Amino acid sequence: MEWFDVTVPIRPGMPVYEGDPDVSIWRVQAIASGGVCNLSRIDFGLHTGTHVDAPVHFIDGATGVDGLPLDALIGAAWVVDATSMTTDLDRAALQALDLPASAERLLFKTPNSRLWEADSFDPGFVGITEDGARHLIARGVRLVGADYLSIAPRNDPAPTHITLLAAGVVILEGLDLRGVAPGPYQLVCLPLLVEGADGAPARALLIRE
């Protein structure tokens, strides 16, 4: 089996969504300074790098990340080749892609993948529109993954998020799919168990037999 770590490393200076907190990591105790051990502290937003959105992120009073179904985050997944798409993915664009009829977890590899090569946020990323989200729900999708910091178009992020989250679809954002080819995999993705949180960073792995 081949294992692919599609997680974006958390580090100071990494791109974060506009308006989100920057990443800060500092050493609060150091052996070199006489400490008994090295001990670090980290400060960053819960939607940094590879992360999972919870319904409460866009729906007030809804479920936090600790209430997400883990079986949606583990299982057969399909990496979709959408690298030729340069505009937001609406229903028509999704219908033009090779989406397996039975796939419950779709991870979209788009031109966004190259944006991880920069240290600053790029507002020109490709997202999925509201009618595209409705199309995925109608297909029975349980998880949708994006290869940048938002699943939705930058100019109108709420409708796509609300549509997917209200339907119980798990949103996985911030994947690094540069090193994986389109096709079938097994996904293992576990977000941090932060009680009641609107999202959480996650380690995401793809396994190919």
State the catalytic residues: 57
Q: Identify the bridge partners of residue 208 per DSSP, sorted by sequence position.
A: 2
d(CA 184, CA 182): 7
